Chain A
Amino acid sequence: MTALASPSRGASLWQRWRFHLSALVLIVPVIFTPVFFQENAFFDGKKGLGQREIGEIAVGPWSVRLAEFKVVAPDAEGRAGYAKTFALALCPACVDEVKAAYLRVGKPRNIRTAGALFSGTPYRQTAEMRIPDRTTADDVLWLTLEGWDGALHQATIPIRAASPITAAWLEKRGRP
């Protein structure tokens, strides 16, 4: 008969606590389940267009609903600077008429500089708009809609109205 070697202290601790760890592995996802479903509903659009709806904006013969996707300051995008995400829904009557929607800070020079292109369904599409270094809180966003017939229509929204949190961020940042 041989005597069993007693386990090391580390192995003994592991033996004792692995049951509790396995329970933790089950409990942690349960804790995060409500957040998961909330985020899921938000990304599915069940909680509205975005976290803060800006309102209905007339753009030529069409109209759109515009929203801040999330009420947060612009995201740092490395060397590309900062960007802010907006969400847009085309009016039901203009879904078949509008080919593309663009958003940018300041007046576009032409269609090639119309800004960030909204992508997604006509009922909820998003665009990540660049915030150029020169941008100030008093600047204006230009929304450009392009029709399938080639027609271009534009509307302006002051940054202060489109995203108060971005305006506050710009004021705090100052002009570089």
Chain B
Amino acid sequence: MKGLRKGGLIIAAIGAVSLFIGAAWAHPPFCICKMANATTVRCEGGFADGRGVPGVKLDVVRYDESIVLETKFGPDSIVSFRRPEGEFYVLFDAGPGQSFDVDYKDIQ
């Protein structure tokens, strides 16, 4: 009887888990950049499911495509750098399809 009850519970648990299988989907990355002080930009990266991005590339690029800085996120998924003069963008690059840019106008 006890065995039957245990078996029933396992089947119920598997059934409940299967209800959520269809919900599995990609989780897009994010990179939130803000001014930490008058001269320093602080960017925090990650994925929507809560995964961090330690070691992921972050480039600071001028509008003419010249690279100002090539760096990587730290173990805490944060990177800080001195804000360049003029027009630039921050390129978060976690690989093909997982990379995007943050314009300097959006860093405040």
Contact = CB atoms under 8 A, between A and B. Distances in A.
Interface string A40-59: 00010000000000000000
Nearest to A119: B97
Interface in B28-55: 28-30, 32, 46-50
B96 A130 contact: no
Interface in B1-27: 22, 25-27
Interface string B51-87: 0000000000100010000000000000000000000
Contacts of A83: 28
B106 A80 contact: no
Interface residues of B, number: 25
Nearest to B19: A32
A128 interface: yes
Interface string A117-130: 10100000001101
Nearest to A76: B48
Contacts, number: 55
Interface string A71-112: 000000111110101000000000000001010100001101
A104 B99 CA distance: 11
A128 B106 contact: no
A77 B48 contact: yes
A38 interface: no
A80 B28 contact: yes
Q: Is the interface of A mostly helix, strand, loop or mixed?
A: mixed
A102 B97 contact: yes
B100 interface: yes
Interface residues of A, number: 25
Given A39-B22, A109-B89, A110-B65, A127 B97 contact: yes
A78 B47 CA distance: 9
Nearest to B61: A109
Contacts of B50: 78
B91 A80 contact: no
Nearest to B30: A80
Nearest to A117: B97
Given A80-B47, A110-B65, 15 more contacts: A39-B22, A43-B22, A77-B48, A78-B30, A78-B50, A79-B46, A79-B48, A85-B25, A109-B61, A112-B93, A113-B91, A115-B100, A116-B97, A119-B97, A130-B28
Interface of A: 39, 43, 77-81, 83, 85, 100, 102, 104, 109-110, 112-113, 115-117, 119, 127-128, 130, 133-134
26 contacts: A43-B22, A77-B27, A78-B48, A78-B49, A78-B50, A79-B32, A79-B48, A80-B27, A80-B29, A80-B47, A83-B28, A100-B97, A104-B100, A112-B93, A112-B99, A113-B99, A113-B100, A115-B97, A115-B100, A117-B96, A117-B97, A117-B98, A127-B97, A128-B26, A130-B100, A134-B106
